Structure 1
Amino acid sequence: MNATEQKVLRFIYENELIVSGDKILIAVSGGPDSVFLLHFLNKFRKKFSIEIGAIHLNHLLRGKESDRDELFCKTICREISVSFYSARKKVKSFSIKNKISLEAAGRKIRYDYFEKICRQHGYNKIATAHNADDNTETVLLNLIKGAGLKGIAGIPIKRENIIRPILVLSKNEILNYLENNLFEYRIDKSNLSNEYERNFLRNEIIPLIKKNINPAFTNSVLNTSFNLQRLNSGLAVISAGLKSKIKVKPNLIVSIPIDFISDENEFITSYLIKEVIDENFSIKIESNDVKKIFLLVNKTSGKSEELSKRLVSYRERDNIVIKKKSVQLKPDKIIIYVGDKININGKKLSILNSKVEEIRISDSKNIEYISADTIKNNFIIRAWQKGDKFYPIGMRGTKKVSDYLNDIKINSFEKKDQLVLENDGRIVWVVGKRLDNRFKLKPNTKKVLKLCLN
């Protein structure tokens, strides 16, 4: 056993990456890093008492070169008797369709495929061949782009069922090991091009830092990454008890109490806010976004700040609310007739004839029954306007729609987009909120309409 193998074994044991009985799926590209990982885990699988398999995704980006990579990986696995899984995916088409980078598209498709094979064949862990040089590039990229603590902490040693057993090795250590053991591997020529940000750092910037400042730069960054990852773990424990104070609607809204921001430790609060927003919207906001959120604390209700990743934050009375920037347009006056169903702002509104015996009382405010004895056949659906008034059912007299929405304490996002349904110039329904008293059902009601929003 040589020094490189001992180094990896020690790293695996120290971080409890592999335990007896694991069934590990190894991501292989054909490049030196994944070839090293494949041969290493194959050599020590009896020592670990594990089963292994290998998986390759052909991104169809480099023509015959991509096909040769796939064949190379398949051949190695056959020679060492390791189960092999592969698929071909049009990463470029996916990238264009979803308006994301090729790198992001490839990552998304790869990991979806890896998880699929894990479920189908009983693998409980995925091993990827990220190394210390990859970590250095990741840290620099995130630092340059203003990422938070998690970003500049680099590549995690493990995340859920994904493990990175050779993160401790430099690229040179891997290449030397492969050369000494006469293991073949493939070279992705696209890595030599500086067209991609990561390649530019790898080929131009990092070599200059090593030459002129710190020859051990990669190792220094790795040690700092591990320290920051431990710090992040500690912060996660500390902030867990505070997390319940922040309210979320999955992928829709994050609501942060003003008192929470004002009273708690700023460092912990900043960390937690970023974590909750990142998790809720499946994105990575920038540190500057958190600063913008903090600025809203001292602004008046209704003020807003645009954030990155198409998010926007609003100052409410007692909360700061973050949501996706709306791309919906307020409808102009749309005519809807009895019996019609229309699509509006991603929902369906219908007005249907009904009968008294068909009425079903529901707690849902998106379904209402009205007396249509004085109703004309055509309705108008529109956004509420300044000066709109109605007779809220259960209340006396009229009330401005604006005042009513303030009374029920809906946030400014909802208020701005609130719709009303009117008939013959009279508001029938503040949609999804309250009916007008003039159209409530009465014992002598003869004609019934069912209003439904879903």
Structure 2
Amino acid sequence: MKKVLDYIREYNMILEGDSVLVGVSGGGDSVCLLSLLREFRKEIPFTLRVLHVEHGIRKEESVQDMEFVEDLCARWEIPCKSVRLEVPAYAKKEGLSMEEAARKLRYEALYEGAERIGGAKIAVAHHANDLMETMLFFLCRGCGIKGLYPMEPVSGQLIRPLLCVTKAEIEEYLKNEKLQFCIDATNEDTVYTRNRIRKEIIPILESVNEGAVEHFFRTANRLRQADEVLQKAEAAALLNYVGKEGADLRIGGEIVQEPIYIRQQVVRKCLSDLAGQKKDLTGQHVEAVLRLFGSQVGSFIMLPYQIRGEREYEGVRLYRTEAAQEQGEKKERPGFKKPIFGEENLVLPDGSRLSVRIFEKNERISEIPEKSCTKWMDYDIIKNKLEVRYCQPEDFFVMDAVGHKKTIKKFFVDEKIPKKQREEQLVLASESHVFWVLGRRMAEDAKVTGATRRIMEISIDKGDKTDE
């Protein structure tokens, strides 16, 4: 399908010389994707590999699917690796649904597989019907604008070449090319919400308008473009109206002049930063904070996670009560560990936000940021098993171009860093190899050089205007 090749080119999903890892289940969608990418190599020279995940759910059928994919790849002379997972055991251990556990482990396997072959791009077979299904699912559950464009053509390493085509177009392609594929019986079981949307609701909407799927796809694109504008406005409002004093956040009263959506988003971000998560924070809590701006000085409200909102002369102060802060420190600090699989947006224990962006190095780049809270690093050097966590006694970093190493403990002593700050120091590391002591020192071997191909930009937003 030429439209898929055009879509790939429009979003620079695959460039000449790239390495692409395709997740192939053996179903029609992934077989279609693999077949198309195999043909597109004639137009764009790139390396193609396959990863198949056997979830351990459907027993004999799963093994048959794995054998089918391996045979198909052998015939097409495409390198293939199969990974066996025990999803039922993991779901039980973590208290997750089977679908959620399978998705989590599947993506972990894909990212790990991509890293093993040099940071390959990961191609998955989501199509326009999947997009529509997810939009409807999120709408029924309640969501913001982001939930109305839940899949993007490119998201870090992840690419979705089939997002521009419908399920009907995929089925027609499979029929015309006489391609065989596996059928997963669980996809027909309407006891699952997503299957019910796919099998019952979408056909009804298509009976109302046969172009419904394409219209949802175009609407999602418009919403994504509109949200880019809104995110810039939200970021500007955060800089203009939100200040941080210790662990407290203060929202200036002048924010009432902003449109209601921007006010809501600013308050929502402040609450989630204080809580360290979004769970249990609802629109009602956001509205309760906004009503404080019209209340008398001294008025206050209590919110989840023992967050208190208090009206002051110049605006509203949000903070966690002392008991909540102490409990949070004891519970959260020892176990804080967040893996970095690609582009990320994380809330750190102190409420600040860490964002990760990955992009191709442009030869025209002449100035590398030297700010303490924004760093550029060579992604292809640091990408393996990357995580943000508290520092450990065995941690070390490379301190100069010669390769001399220094332990974190010695670094703290040399820099005369107080003990309390040492205990709360976060690092970006791969196992015990530290690449950045957040806000302080970056390792020499992580720096961007003339040989760098891809850059990882890591920024920390502390909620104020300082980045010295």
Relative to the length of structure 1, the TM-score reads 0.64
**Who is 1:220 aligned against?**
215
3-state secondary structure, aligned to 1:47:
coil
**Who is 1:305 aligned against?**
303
CA distance in 2 between partners of 1:277 and 1:206 (Å): 36
Quick one: which amino acid aligns to residue 304 of structure 1? M
**Who is 1:336 aligned against?**
none
**1:293–1:305 contact (8 Å) kept in structure 2:** no
Which of 56, 74, 77 matches 2:70?
74
CA distance in 2 between partners of 1:181 and 1:219 (Å): 23
Quick one: which amino acid aligns to residue 236 of structure 1? Q
Identity across aligned pairs (percent)? 28
**Who is 2:172 aligned against?**
176
CA distance in 2 between partners of 1:60 and 1:248 (Å): 48
Map 1:413-452 → 2, pairs under 5 A: none
Quick one: which amino acid aligns to residue 32 of structure 2? F
**How many angstroms does 1:158 deviate by?**
1.4
Map 1:35-54 → 2, pairs under 5 A: 35-54=31-50
Map 1:305-344 → 2, pairs under 5 A: 305-306=303-304, 313-316=307-310, 318-321=316-319
**Corresponding position: 1:267 with 2:265:** no
**How many angstroms does 1:274 deviate by?**
4.6
CA distance in 2 between partners of 1:141 and 1:7 (Å): 27
Residues 1:49 and 1:266: Cα distance change in structure 2 (over 3 Å): same
**How many angstroms does 1:216 deviate by?**
1.4
Quick one: which amino acid aligns to residue 113 of structure 1? A
**Who is 1:210 aligned against?**
206
Residues 1:259 and 1:20: Cα distance change in structure 2 (over 3 Å): farther
**Who is 1:160 aligned against?**
156
**Who is 2:384 aligned against?**
none
* Bigger radius of gyration: 1
**Who is 1:7 aligned against?**
3
CA distance in 2 between partners of 1:10 and 1:278 (Å): 39
CA distance in 2 between partners of 1:41 and 1:75 (Å): 18
Residues 1:345 and 1:25: Cα distance change in structure 2 (over 3 Å): closer
CA distance in 2 between partners of 1:200 and 1:119 (Å): 36
Cα deviation, 1:303-324, whole Å, max 9, x if unaligned, reads 2234xxxx5643145422479x
Residues 1:185 and 1:329: Cα distance change in structure 2 (over 3 Å): same
**2:22–2:124 contact (8 Å) kept in structure 1:** yes
Residues 1:346 and 1:215: Cα distance change in structure 2 (over 3 Å): closer
**How many angstroms does 1:45 deviate by?**
1.4
**How many angstroms does 1:240 deviate by?**
3.3
Residues 1:70 and 1:345: Cα distance change in structure 2 (over 3 Å): closer
**Corresponding position: 1:86 with 2:86:** no
CA distance in 2 between partners of 1:78 and 1:248 (Å): 58
**How many angstroms does 1:296 deviate by?**
4.9
**How many angstroms does 1:103 deviate by?**
2.2
Which of 7, 21, 25 matches 2:21?
25
Map 1:241-252 → 2, pairs under 5 A: 241-244=236-239, 246=242
Residues 1:169 and 1:96: Cα distance change in structure 2 (over 3 Å): same
3-state secondary structure, aligned to 1:85:
strand
**Who is 2:235 aligned against?**
240
Which of 130, 139, 144 matches 1:143?
139
**Who is 1:449 aligned against?**
none
**2:5–2:40 contact (8 Å) kept in structure 1:** no
**1:128–1:163 contact (8 Å) kept in structure 2:** yes
Residues 1:159 and 1:66: Cα distance change in structure 2 (over 3 Å): same
**Who is 2:197 aligned against?**
201
Cα deviation, 1:250-305, whole Å, max 9, x if unaligned, reads xxx88452537435433223345556777895657655554344345456555223
3-state secondary structure, aligned to 1:166:
helix
Quick one: which amino acid aligns to residue 105 of structure 2? I
Q: How many equivalent pairs are there?
A: 331
Which of 59, 81, 102 matches 1:106?
102
3-state secondary structure, aligned to 1:72:
helix
Q: 5+ residue gaps in structure 1? A: 331-342, 349-360, 368-454
**How many angstroms does 1:132 deviate by?**
0.6
**How many angstroms does 1:73 deviate by?**
1.3
**2:52–2:83 contact (8 Å) kept in structure 1:** yes
CA distance in 2 between partners of 1:18 and 1:274 (Å): 36
Residues 1:79 and 1:313: Cα distance change in structure 2 (over 3 Å): farther
Quick one: which amino acid aligns to residue 98 of structure 1? E
Residues 1:366 and 1:205: Cα distance change in structure 2 (over 3 Å): closer
**Who is 1:353 aligned against?**
none
CA distance in 1 between partners of 2:182 and 2:14 (Å): 27
Quick one: which amino acid aligns to residue 197 of structure 2? L
3-state secondary structure, aligned to 2:152:
coil
**How many angstroms does 1:53 deviate by?**
0.9
Residues 1:88 and 1:287: Cα distance change in structure 2 (over 3 Å): farther
Cα deviation, 1:326-353, whole Å, max 9, x if unaligned, reads 69989xxxxxxxxxxxx976789xxxxx
CA distance in 1 between partners of 2:419 and 2:303 (Å): 33
CA distance in 2 between partners of 1:55 and 1:276 (Å): 40
Quick one: which amino acid aligns to residue 260 of structure 2? E
Residues 1:347 and 1:123: Cα distance change in structure 2 (over 3 Å): closer
CA distance in 1 between partners of 2:218 and 2:320 (Å): 35
Q: CA RMSD in A?
A: 3.5
3-state secondary structure, aligned to 1:100:
coil
Quick one: which amino acid aligns to residue 175 of structure 2? E
Residues 1:48 and 1:260: Cα distance change in structure 2 (over 3 Å): farther
3-state secondary structure, aligned to 1:167:
helix
